[in-house]
């Protein structure tokens, strides 16, 4: 008698990630490109409005365009962080001697599966404002118990 059990291929777990996005070199162009890439390669669930902000740290550079995105991914956190660095590279990011200097794109994981993982959320309005907007728009919230940076 043939076996009736089926061996379904397991579906990879989906993680939800809130990303902080910042750009000040051709910001509208690079913002649109980042949205296009993340929408086609991840599950883009929501995005905040882009806000213009003055630079923090190194002051002699153009204002930034900042936003937050909510995406879903089957990648684990370290692999997704590496993926975001690769997207930055594809968008022309060059890491110069000034850490807070101009950039075509900066993509940072702020929250992973509902937990804050970047202290930038607590320290910078240009991160917290867009993140809170994208969370409200998508009906999500964050566990913000500790302020420890768990990069």
Residues noted as catalytic: 93, 103, 106, 108
- What's the residue count for the chain? 151
Question: Can you read off the two tokens belonging to residue 120?
Answer: 């930038």
State how far the Cα of 31 lies from the Cα of 18, in Å rounded to an integer: 16
State how far the Cα of 149 lies from the Cα of 29, in Å rounded to an integer: 31
CB within 8 A of 73, min separation 6: which ones?
14, 15, 17, 42, 43, 80, 83
- Give the residue ranges of DSSP H helices in 58-142: 77-90, 120-123, 125-138
């Amino acid at each position: 008698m043939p076996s009736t059990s089926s061996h379904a291929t397991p579906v990879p777990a989906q993680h939800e990630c809130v990303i902080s996005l910042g750009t000040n070199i051709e910001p509208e162009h690079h913002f649109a490109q980042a949205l296009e890439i993340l929408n086609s390669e991840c599950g883009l669930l929501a995005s905040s409005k882009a806000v213009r902000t003055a630079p923090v740290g190194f002051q002699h550079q153009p204002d930034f365009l900042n936003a937050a995105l909510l995406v879903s991914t089957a990648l684990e956190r370290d692999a997704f962080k590496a993926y975001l660095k690769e997207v930055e590279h594809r968008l022309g990011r060059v890491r110069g001697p000034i850490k807070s200097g101009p950039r075509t794109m900066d993509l940072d994981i702020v929250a992973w599966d509902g937990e804050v993982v970047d202290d930038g959320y607590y320290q910078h309005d240009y991160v917290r404002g867009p993140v809170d907007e994208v969370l409200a728009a998508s009906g999500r919230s964050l566990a913000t118990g500790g302020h420890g940076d768990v990069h």
